[in-house]
Structure 1
Amino acid sequence: MNFLIRLLVSALAAMLTAYLLPGVKIDSFITALLLALVLAVLNVLVKPILIILTLPATILTLGLFLLVINAVIILLAGKLVSGFRVDGFWWALLFSIVMTVINSIMHGIAGNKED
């Protein structure tokens, strides 16, 4: 149940972020739900591999390279989800930052109660 709530909150955050950024387009709420699901899967499967492969760059930049990894994940999701379009790397980077902030605010409002 907690996963479904997180998925809905992430979809709402993606819709709001796409509304705020002109370089990102999401066609419908169903697309946003699919995007949230794809991002969850990519964050579980692909992101740890990218973090391990880029560990020297991450250490050298004091962790700022993780923002680049997030942007790459967003661009990969843009290739996988039809109806979701990102105009370039910088829009993907900005999308990941803004979506993280909005997602955190929405999760804080919704509460994080463990059953």
Structure 2
Amino acid sequence: MTIEVIQTICHKLPGVTESIKLDVHLCFNVGGKSFLFTHPDGVPPSASFKVPDEDFEEVSSKEGLDPHPYIARYKWVLVRDINSLAAKEWEYYIRQSYDLIAAKLPLKIRAKLIKLSG
């Protein structure tokens, strides 16, 4: 798994933008809100995504995954090495995180995203 593959998965979703936060994190956003944080220059590269409250304990206890040290209270999971997940798992978790963040956006922005998705 590479950051470029994760980037490609993210950009398949409507309205996704990228930003750099804290000088080292490549973040993927929808409606101005981040749904995936990556640390491409980390050794190994890592990433974090949001999961539903009810899935947090199960997902964050998988091999190679942990509650995110700073934002676990918001149900964010840290993938210590992006190779810990297969491409299909990345597609699932990225989409799930995107949907969770998009669902909390203002109605007007959500309507634009629906239009973009065709």
Normalised TM-score (structure 2): 0.30
- Give the helix-richer structure, 1 or 2: 1
Mark the structure with the bigger radius of gyration: 1
Give TM-score, length-normalised by structure 1.
0.30
Larger strand percent: 2
